[in-house]
Amino acid sequence: MDLDLTAPTASLASAVADVTRLLPTRVIEPVLTGIVLRGDADGVTLSGTDRERGIRLWAPALCHVDGEVLVPAKPLAETLRTVDTPEIRLVVEGSRLAVRTPQARFALPLLDLDTHPGVPAPPARLGVVAGGALRAALAPVAAAASRDDALPVFTGVRIASEGDRLVLMASDRFRLATARLPWRPVDTTPIDVLLPANTLAEILRRIPDGAEVGLHADEDRAALTWERSGLITALLATPFPSTDRLLSVTPDTTAWVEADVLAGAVRRALPYTGPHGLISLEVGDAELRVRGVDSQTGESEEMVKAVVDGGRPTRRFQARNLADGLKAFAGEQVRLAVPDIDRRGTVLTGEARHDEVELTYLVAPSRGGGH
């Protein structure tokens, strides 16, 4: 096994850290805790897998000797994270991969590359989407997914095609985020998959705005590929529940408000929302009144200017759920559509975002002490 390359420290450290975060932490198969480095004339490719997911990331490098090695991922990531030189050299020295700076040398053991399963090739490509649009859509949608593995269906992001539009959707049962964006299918095969939200969120920042992202899928796996990088993951098997009824309610009241201003009022009310974190949102003639009441800490009340049409209802929400929904519309006006039935959620929408991304965010009301 040979390898000798010089790379910018920051970009290499970032790529190694991102691969390492997706690797297993329990040492059931020690070989899976390793990261594969492959250097050639194009730079260096870093890859790893936990058998459910596989990731391959490219980083710039000047390769002096082409080669491929497998080394423990975590110590490599920690070493690169703490090195403060602008460039770093990785070179095989006997049974070690030396990490060299002008002042220091670190040596990692070479693992048996032949025992590593490698990252499989992605399934067939079904279409492409602009990287910037995908990032703008996926970030707020993935954030709405549940972190509770007891209900796997709510830990995923559904990605489905509707003609020349791609629809992303996620929910934790108390909020629901959807985004629609343009995509270009390569044939008539539709895409409809449920992918782990945390995995998608981990690789979001790796996708450049100007990249063209390929979407791949078959019955068992899906993949995102861009430039010389990619992520492949097993699908979540449970079908995502239908949400058409939740989003098709005709509102009794609508209010247009600056998202950042309302979000600030909600944040300031948080200390007064009690053990269950509840706030009241009261619709007035030309304002929204944000109220928090707690027997221990006191109460808050703040008025936010709004353009109101319809009734004057009052709704209670989990403050953090509402704040998260407003965060998705940062820097723009948001429309709150409040149904006349207080058991149904309030729908937040804005104008078309980056590259025609249309975002909808539903926040469920809270009627009792908690959710």
- For residues 241 and 10, give the distance between their C-alpha atoms in angstroms, rounded to a whole number: 42
The DSSP output letter for 112 is -
Start-end of H helices in 97-227: 131-143, 197-203
Angle at which helices 319-327 and 259-269 cross, to 10°: 150
Cα-based angle 116, 119, 121 (whole degrees, multiple of 5) = 140
pLDDT at 187: 83
> Which residue type occupies 178?
T
Using the structure block, give the residue that is written with the tokens 């319809």: 310
User: Cβ distance 292 to 272 under 8 Å?
Assistant: yes
Q: pLDDT, tens digit, for every residue of 209-241?
A: 899 999 999 999 999 999 999 999 999 987 787
- For residues 371 and 359, give the distance between their C-alpha atoms in angstroms, rounded to a whole number: 24
Low-confidence ranges of the chain (pLDDT < 70): 27, 244-249, 352-355, 367-371
Q: The pTM is what?
A: 0.89
- How many Cα neighbours within 13 Å face the side chain of 341? 7
> Which residue type occupies 144?
A
User: Cβ distance 215 to 127 under 8 Å?
Assistant: yes
Beta strands in 73-155 (DSSP E): 87-93, 96-100, 105-109, 125-130
DSSP string, 38-60: EEETTEEEEEEE-SSEEEEEEE-
pLDDT at 142: 95
